[in-house]
């Protein structure tokens, strides 16, 4: 039943509409600003690599040195800075939008552009996609294939998750093999997951750019949250050098976001201690996940003077407790000795977990 004009319901509808419209536009503006910022950063890196007067002094360590100098800016990791550089090289047409604003000069470099005669207007790309979308596009080497996903992403108003799903399900290849291409693409769009403003707001890159902290609910499982609370206190109370650093620490690699449950820095061992808690039995996949965390910290977070990070995988349920220590690169006997002395023993942690499980048996 249509809403009659000048009724209370009509007033409510008008306010709701103006709220959603202005919210969507403000989010789009922030998203566009982040995308342009990252592109310009990529431009400056390439320009310096080509023309920097002291570039020989830094050589191949330009990115690493930038990370040290820019550590006060969230998101300036080696992975992201390399990504910004690739973004600039892959989408040079964005210069049409930012050249006057930033007074950028054209750089003569080998650039991979979407099929020029079919390229979409850059304004349309910037207004339709967040930087997280562009990360997915950068994974596609074939210019025509990339253009296909750009076009269909705009037509379908795809969120990042939907875009990734379409790419991973080989939509481009399946359309190419289909006899009725229009019917197939129509069918795909009819089942799409539409991009919503709140999905953009929660994008980790947007949160970093705006300076907002992601509000992470540690776990939907009350038992897991309780265990993490007490485990954090337990390690700090040991007094063996544990310094609390982060909880639910986000690790981002090209749009894939993982979280380490607890992160400590051990001032005696001079290394990070990463803890992952699973409210289930131990799985071999947990080791691979922890190994990923350790390598990330070793290459992206740790300083040159730090020792290799240490990982603790804690798995628990009411019938089983297993503690797995993952120690990457502990090749120094002196360090191994310190490690054994200053970390709690496996038995200590097992007893702690078992006691906690008993205490929270009613949760």
What distance in Å separates the CA atoms of residue 201 and residue 32, rounded to the nearest whole number? 13
| 125-136 pLDDT, tens digit each | 998 899 999 999
- Cβ–Cβ under 8 Å, residues 166 and 188: yes
| H helix intervals, 214-297 | 222-237, 284-296
> How far does CA 173 lie from the centroid of its chain?
28
Give the integer Cα–Cα distance in Å for 310 and 322.
Answer: 17
Contact 130, 206 (CB under 8 A): yes
pLDDT band at 303 (very low <50, low <70, confident <90, very high): confident
- For residue 363, what pLDDT is reported? 46
DSSP letter for each residue of 120-149: PPHHHHHHH--HHHHHHHHT---HHHHHHH
* Residue 297 reports pLDDT greater than 80: yes
pLDDT of residue 53 exceeding 70: yes
Per-residue CA distances from 21 to 29, 130, 222 (Å): 12, 18, 37
Tell me the pLDDT band of 61, cut-offs 50, 70 and 90: confident
pLDDT of residue 114: 44
What's the pLDDT tens digit per position in 239-290?
778 888 888 888 877 777 788 888 989 888 888 989 888 877 788 788 888 8
Q: pLDDT (tens digit, 9 = 90+) per residue, 331-356?
A: 666 677 777 777 888 888 888 887 77
What are the two backbone dihedrals, phi and then psi, of residue 144, each rounded to the nearest 5 degrees?
-70, -40
What pLDDT sits at residue 191?
Answer: 67
Chain centroid to CA 126: 20
CATH topology of domain 222-359: Trna Endonuclease; Chain: A, domain 1 (3.40.1350)
Strands 271-278, 256-266: pairing is: antiparallel
C-beta separation of 310 from 272 below 8 A: yes
Q: What is the pLDDT confidence band of residue 88, given thresholds at 50, 70 and 90?
A: very high
Per-residue pLDDT tens digits for 185-218: 887 777 666 555 556 666 777 767 776 665 554 4
Given this model, what pLDDT does residue 14 score?
Answer: 84
Q: Write the CB contacts of 250 (distance below 8 Å, at least 6 apart in sequence).
A: 204, 214, 216, 257, 258, 259
For 158-186, the pLDDT digits (tens) are: 888 889 888 988 888 888 887 787 888 88
Enter the DSSP assignment of 8: H
Between CA 363 and CA 359 the distance in angstroms is 9
How many CB atoms sit inside 10 A of residue 95's CB?
Answer: 19
- Where in the chain are the domains? 8-210, 222-359
What pTM was estimated for this model as a whole? 0.63
């Amino acid at each position: 039943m249509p809403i009659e004009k000048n009724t209370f319901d009509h007033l409510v509808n008008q306010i709701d509409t103006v709220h959603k419209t202005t919210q969507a536009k403000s989010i789009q503006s922030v998203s566009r600003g982040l995308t342009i910022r990252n592109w310009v950063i990529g431009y400056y890196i390439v320009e310096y690599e080509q023309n920097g007067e002291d570039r020989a002094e830094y050589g191949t360590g330009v990115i690493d040195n930038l990370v040290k100098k820019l550590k006060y800016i969230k998101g300036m990791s080696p992975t992201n800075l390399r990504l910004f550089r690739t973004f600039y090289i892959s989408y040079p047409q964005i210069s049409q939008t930012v050249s006057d604003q930033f007074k950028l000069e054209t750089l003569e470099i080998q650039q991979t552009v979407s099929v020029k005669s079919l390229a979409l207007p850059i304004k349309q790309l910037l207004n339709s996609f967040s930087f997280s979308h562009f990360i997915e596009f950068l994974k596609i080497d074939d210019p025509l294939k990339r253009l296909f996903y750009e076009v269909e992403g705009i037509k379908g108003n795809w969120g990042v998750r939907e875009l990734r799903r379409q790419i991973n399900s080989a939509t481009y290849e399946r359309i190419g093999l289909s006899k009725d291409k229009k019917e197939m693409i129509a069918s795909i769009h009819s089942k799409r997951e539409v991009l919503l403003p709140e999905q953009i707001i929660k994008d980790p890159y947007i949160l970093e750019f705006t300076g907002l902290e992601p509000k992470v609910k540690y776990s939907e499982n009350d038992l897991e949250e309780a265990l993490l609370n007490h485990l954090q206190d337990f390690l700090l109370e040991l007094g063996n050098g544990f310094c609390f650093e982060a909880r639910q620490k986000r690790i981002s690699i090209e749009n894939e976001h993982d979280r380490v449950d607890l992160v400590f820095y051990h001032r005696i061992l001079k290394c990070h201690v990463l803890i992952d808690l699973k409210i289930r039995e131990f799985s071999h996949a947990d080791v691979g996940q922890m190994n990923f965390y350790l390598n990330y910290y070793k290459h992206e977070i740790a300083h040159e003077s730090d020792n290799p990070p240490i990982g603790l995988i804690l798995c628990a349920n009411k019938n089983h407790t297993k503690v797995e220590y993952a120690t990457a690169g502990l090749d120094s006997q002196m360090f191994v000795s310190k490690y054994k002395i200053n970390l709690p023993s496996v038995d200590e942690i097992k007893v702690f977990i078992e006691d906690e499980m008993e205490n929270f048996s009613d949760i």
